[in-house]
Amino acid sequence: MSDAFQALSRRLLPLAAAVGFAIVATPALARGPEGIADVAEKVIDAVVNISTSQTVEAKNTDNDKGSDERGNRRGANPQLPPDSPFSEFFDEFFKNRRGGPDSRGNSPRKVNSLGSGFIIDTDGTVVTNNHVIADADEINVILNDGTKIKAELIGRDKKSDLAVLKFTPPEKKITAVKFGNSDSLRLGEWVIAIGNPFSLGGTVTAGIVSARNRDINSGPYDNYIQTDAAINRGNSGGPLFNLDGEVIGVNTAIISPSGGSIGIGFAVPSKTVMAVVDQLRQFKEVRRGWLGVRIQQVTDEIAESLSIKPARGALIAGVDDKGPAKPAGIEPGDVVVKFDGKDIKEMKDLPRAVADSPVGKAVDVVIIRKGKEETKKVTLGRLDDGEKPVEASAKTTSPVEAEKPVTQKALGLDLAGLSKDLRTRYKIKDSVKGVIVTGVDDGSDAAEKRLSAGDVIVEVAQEAVTNAADVKKLVDQLKKDGKKSVLLLVSNGSGELRFVALAVK
């Protein structure tokens, strides 16, 4: 038995060694690269806490029936704007109130909020999120050693959720960090987040780049880095570092049902941050390029109708009469596939590329028109603060019930000529030309694409139409040609255009 055991042991020894090697190696990988500690030690003094305070009015109403445990009537909570960064502190604030000289809650009160930021210049320039300092009456920067210094707001940009602050540095030397190139990030690359989660102060977490160019529908310029490094409330405005100690993102948002980290955090990439920060420091505002178009996604059906393979680009649904695109010769129905040398793979790429371009720059815009590529030279205007790149709207006006006119049927639509009576009934401007939709078949492709009575068909397959017979004739021809879908240019009563591809049956 002893000899047999020894023989078995000798045969299993190589396997045990291999397993042992795997077991030994795994913990080392789990800890991450050795350089994390060195990076954290190098940059942590550049990461600051942002302390803000806001004076709010506390209101008491007759409808408030609440009371504390002693039976004292409680005032209503102060009214804050939606998504205010101060709101998360109110529950704790009011939970700890216990009557007092003004237990009715009628006096103005100060509430505090804490976030993160980082120093980019030894002159005291700090970058953070706009939502960290929004509506604040007073802003203070707290250095890593606890020194608290009052800061002023230099400028902020709501669209990218970034802000620049400035404080007077103390006599001692302060640490500043540099931006890295977020475009060079690779999936799986290690990154380090440092910030002030839950007001705990300088906290270091590490993870990897989970995704790039992430759109979370928070604004027109979404282009986030996604990471699984632990990011929680209070980390907002803090830096995301690469292993060279360079800032490659600003931690801005998380997805979390519980309010804590579940490993899905988002950071504004440094390429976007640098451009915004430079303008905020120079102009105290962001001046974005403006093309003056309304756009929509190029779906597979629309691409087939326009003979574009593969489906790509941004479809021009409308052109502003006073915008830069108009004199350059860009028209509805054009598909932008390249802007200033950058490929436009999908609709959302165009607003980003335009916004990142300097005002007044002359750029080449490559479009596809009727299956052929053309290049247009456009001198960009400036996007007003109240404007934003918009998708084509599908909203229509509810018509007043009246006797139905004589119509013709096509594509599941009841179509009629635009008479004076129909213009009045559906509130259609005189400038809108085409064929009006007076009814839509239930369950039809047109109904699924949200066409409704009061919409006006301006073009069919990029051919202008003036009566219902024109529509039917063009649709019948497309059927004979073997087309699977037909592209309609549709207007609402106000003249806003959009493209709709309907199946040809």
* pLDDT per position as a tens digit, 182-191: 999 999 999 9
313 against 223, higher pLDDT:
313
As given in the structure block, the two tokens for residue 359 are 């005002």
As given in the structure block, the two tokens for residue 277 are 């920060």
- Longest CA span, the chain: 107
Collapsing DSSP states into helix, strand and coil, what is residue 74?
coil
Q: So what's the pLDDT on residue 406?
A: 54
Residue 394 CA to residue 296 CA, distance in Å, equals 11
In one-letter notation, the amino acid at residue 187 is L
Smallest CA-to-CA distance from 437 within 398, 464, 468, 394 is with 468
Sign of the CA dihedral with 200 first, then 202, 207, and 212 last: positive
151 against 81, higher pLDDT:
151
Angle value at C-alpha 84, between 284 and 136, nearest 5 degrees: 50
As given in the structure block, the two tokens for residue 252 are 């801005």
As given in the structure block, the two tokens for residue 377 are 């030279």
Residue 152 CA to residue 232 CA, distance in Å, equals 25
Phi, psi of 40 (to 5 degrees): -60, -45
Res. 109: pLDDT tops 80: no
Res. 67: pLDDT tops 80: no
Q: So what's the pLDDT on residue 200?
A: 83
Res. 68: pLDDT tops 60: no
Residue list, annotated binding site for substrate: 131, 161, 234-236
* DSSP H/E element including 153: strand 148-157
Res. 245: pLDDT tops 60: yes
Give the model confidence (pLDDT) of 32-44 as tens digits.
678 899 999 999 9
Give the model confidence (pLDDT) of 267-286 as tens digits.
999 999 999 999 999 999 99
Q: What is the mean predicted confidence (pLDDT) over 301-330?
A: 90
Q: So what's the pLDDT on residue 74?
A: 40
pLDDT band at 161 (very low <50, low <70, confident <90, very high): very high
Mean residue pLDDT of the chain comes to 81
Give the lowest-confidence range in 346-350, 383-387, 390-394: 390-394
Smallest CA-to-CA distance from 487 within 310, 308, 347 is with 308
Q: Which domains does the chain have, with CATH numbers?
A: 189-283 (2.40.10.10), 290-382 (2.30.42.10), 408-503 (2.30.42.10)
Res. 296: pLDDT tops 80: yes
Res. 24: pLDDT tops 80: no
Give the model confidence (pLDDT) of 396-439 as tens digits.
444 444 444 557 788 889 899 888 889 988 899 989 999 999 99
Q: So what's the pLDDT on residue 174?
A: 92
Res. 498: pLDDT tops 80: yes
Residue 417 CA to residue 412 CA, distance in Å, equals 17
The per-residue b/e assignment along 273-282, b for 16 or more CB within 10 angstroms, e otherwise, is bbbbbebbbe
Interacting residues of 372 by C-beta distance below 8 A, sequence separation 6+: none
Res. 80: pLDDT tops 50: no
Q: So what's the pLDDT on residue 111?
A: 66
Res. 259: pLDDT tops 90: no
E strand segments, 255-298: 265-269, 289-290, 293-297
Give the model confidence (pLDDT) of 358-371 as tens digits.
899 999 999 999 88
Interacting residues of 272 by C-beta distance below 8 A, sequence separation 6+: 160, 182, 221, 223, 356
Distances (CA, A) of 274 to 42, 57, 180, 280, 322: 21, 37, 10, 10, 30
Q: So what's the pLDDT on residue 20?
A: 41
Residue 22 CA to residue 348 CA, distance in Å, equals 45
Res. 11: pLDDT tops 80: no
Give the model confidence (pLDDT) of 346-355 as tens digits.
898 899 899 8
CB atoms within 10 A of CB 48: 30
Residue 181 CA to residue 405 CA, distance in Å, equals 62
Collapsing DSSP states into helix, strand and coil, what is residue 54?
strand
DSSP 221: T
pLDDT band at 258 (very low <50, low <70, confident <90, very high): confident
Res. 70: pLDDT tops 70: no
Query: How many percent of the chain have pLDDT more than 70?
Result: 78
Smallest CA-to-CA distance from 185 within 220, 217, 213 is with 213
Interacting residues of 474 by C-beta distance below 8 A, sequence separation 6+: 460, 461, 463, 465, 486
Residue list, annotated binding site: 131, 161, 234-236
pLDDT band at 26 (very low <50, low <70, confident <90, very high): very low
Phi, psi of 336 (to 5 degrees): -80, 120
Q: What is the mean predicted confidence (pLDDT) over 222-246?
A: 92
pTM: 0.68
Q: What is the mean predicted confidence (pLDDT) over 207-230?
A: 87
Q: 481 with 324: CB under 8 angstroms?
A: no
Whether cis (ω within 30° of 0) applies to the bond prior to 310 is yes
- Give the residue numbers annotated as catalytic, written as ranges: 131, 161, 236
pLDDT band at 205 (very low <50, low <70, confident <90, very high): very high
Residue with tokens 């700090």: 126
Q: So what's the pLDDT on residue 28?
A: 42
Distances (CA, A) of 88 to 50, 61, 137, 234, 285: 16, 22, 17, 11, 28
Collapsing DSSP states into helix, strand and coil, what is residue 251?
strand
Whether cis (ω within 30° of 0) applies to the bond prior to 324 is no
Residue 342 CA to residue 271 CA, distance in Å, equals 15
